[in-house]
Amino acid sequence: MSKQIVNFTRQVFNKQKFNETVDTEFSQLVSTPDETFFDINLANTEDFFTLYQNLFFEIPKLGDVNSHEFLIKQSTEYIGFEEQNQTIQALLDEITELREQNLEIRRQNLDLVQQFSTGVVSTERQELATGADIAGIQTTSAITSGGNLTTGGNVGGSGGGGY
């Protein structure tokens, strides 16, 4: 085999000049509307929402003007949404109050159940007998501290008994 010499040449570009000359961004994949032809006087509601969707993530979340917060406040004022919020809040407050009342009634019921299970004090025994007399029920009840109730009379027309 014979030896041959092969010369290679390569062309080198200046990196700065290359970046100035060749567009290396992915601009072809992103569609940005050309706003130079847009006439604000010809815009309609559909155009507004199209622009809004295109600019949604560019609009600041908070701010006194030109923000999502601004749009919400302005629209809320326009449709009277605050009135609805006030009504909803009043109803939520009422629900909270009723829940608190319900909880208090449940606590009272639990206290009564506990009192009957441990025995009723003498003043409560009198109130029970008085309540029975007012209702027209004749009974001679004896409540012991163990919680047993024995009757010697008629309650509702049936014979008495213990429980």
- List residues bridging with 142 in a β-sheet: 150
| Cα→Cα distances 72→61, 68, 79, 142, Å | 10, 6, 11, 71
Six-digit token string for 108: 């009272």
**pLDDT given for residue 146 in this prediction:** 45
What sign does the dihedral 11-15-19-23 (CA atoms) show? positive
Residues 15-45 pLDDT 10s: 888 888 887 777 666 666 666 666 788 888 9
Distance CA 30, CA 32 (A): 6
125 in Cβ contact with 113 (< 8 Å)? no
Integer distance in angstroms from the first to the last C-alpha of the chain? 121
**pLDDT given for residue 161 in this prediction:** 47
pLDDT value at 58 more than 60: yes
Q: What is the DSSP letter of 29?
A: T
Six-digit token string for 141: 């009840």
The reply to whether the predicted model has a pTM over 0.85 is no
Residue percentage of the chain with pLDDT more than 70: 64
Residues 82-128 pLDDT 10s: 777 788 899 999 999 999 999 999 999 998 888 888 865 545 555 55
Q: Which residues of 40-54 are buried (b: 16+ CB within 10 A; e: fewer)?
A: eeeeeeeeeeeeeee
**Close Cβ partners of 146 (under 8 Å, ≥ 6 residues apart):** 119
